[in-house]
A and B are shown apart, each in its own frame.
Chain A
Amino acid sequence: TQLLEQSPQFLSIQEGENLTVYCNSSSVFSSLQWYRQEPGEGPVLLVTVVTGGEVKKLKRLTFQFGDARKDSSLHITAAQPGDTGLYLCAGRIVGGSNYKLTFGKGTLLTVNP
């Protein structure tokens, strides 16, 4: 059973389009993170959200943590080819270890020029 379900698994869009990817769970998380991973590299942290309902913005990226802290979304406005990559959500389960991150399988985003 995958604790964190990400959707869609694959997304191919044209430059300038908007998109949203989702990360859902039946478990409650004390914190949730989004990473971007490019081929041949390790994941790079984009954001950490810790409060239910929290919204964070990073330039054209908007991250939201669900009120119940079971889900999160990443919205990209006016996508650019440089946004291409694997987007991973990861979180720490309430009551679990404070060091252990549970990862989703990722959303592979391709932005075509």
Chain B
Amino acid sequence: GAGVSQSPSNKVTEKGKDVELRCDPISGHTALYWYRQSLGQGLEFLIYFQGNSAPDKSGLPSDRFSAERTGGSVSTLTIQRTQQEDSAVYLCASSLASGSLNEQFFGPGTRLTVL
């Protein structure tokens, strides 16, 4: 299908290692979002992209987290020096535009486990 895809679906890493999570949005969607879903928690907003720029990075938990988007399409979320508390499902979503009535379509997520 032509939905949002994320890779890898699962990632197990050791504490202190860096990880990269990838999101392929729906073609033509200019807005892209990253969320984190921890056990027993709702979705926590991390960052929002409009095109290649990130006007809102307010949700990134620490400077170990960064994200980029290239070509107005694929986005990568990087977590450096992973900690056990980073273990969660990382969800990506995209929408046609950023207005309030634009539906966000979610990918299946990447389940990150930090040992």
User: A-side interface residues toward B, CB under 8 Å?
Assistant: 2, 4, 6, 30-31, 40-45, 48, 50, 88, 90, 92, 97-106
Task: Please list 26 pairs of residues, one from A and one from B, whose beta carbons are closer than 8 Å in the complex, sorted by A's number.
Answer: A4-B42, A30-B100, A31-B100, A31-B101, A40-B108, A41-B106, A41-B109, A42-B4, A42-B107, A43-B43, A43-B91, A43-B106, A48-B103, A97-B48, A97-B56, A98-B98, A99-B33, A99-B48, A99-B56, A99-B95, A99-B99, A100-B45, A102-B45, A103-B44, A104-B42, A105-B41
When chains A and B are docked, how far (Å) is the Cα of A34 from the Cα of B31?
20
| CA distance in complex: A36, B48 (Å) | 22
CB within 8 A of B100: which of A2, A98, A102, A106? A98
B residues contacting A by CB (< 8 A) are 4, 9, 31, 33, 35, 40-45, 48, 56, 91, 93, 95, 98-101, 103-104, 106-109
Q: Do B48 and A88 touch across chains, with their CB atoms under 8 A apart?
A: no
Closest-CB distance, B39 to chain A (whole angstroms): 10
Q: Assuming the A-B contacts A97-B56, A103-B43, A105-B40, are A45 and B103 also in contact, with contact meaning beta carbons closer than 8 angstroms in the complex?
A: yes
Whether the pair B109, A88 counts as a contact (CB closer than 8 A) is: no
Check B40 against A41 for contact (C-beta < 8 Å).
no
Which of B44, B98, B106 is close to A42, meaning CB atoms less than 8 Å apart? B106
Given A40-B108, A100-B45, 5 other A-B residues pairs in contact with their CB atoms under 8 A? A2-B42, A45-B104, A99-B100, A104-B42, A105-B41
CB < 8 Å: which of B40, B56, B106, B109 contacts A100? B56
Does B104 lie within 8 Å of A88, measured CB to CB? no
Interface centre among A42, A44, A50 (most CB of B within 10 A): A42
Q: B93 to A42, Cβ gap below 8 A? A: yes
A42 contacts which chain B residues (CB < 8 A)?
4, 91, 93, 106-109
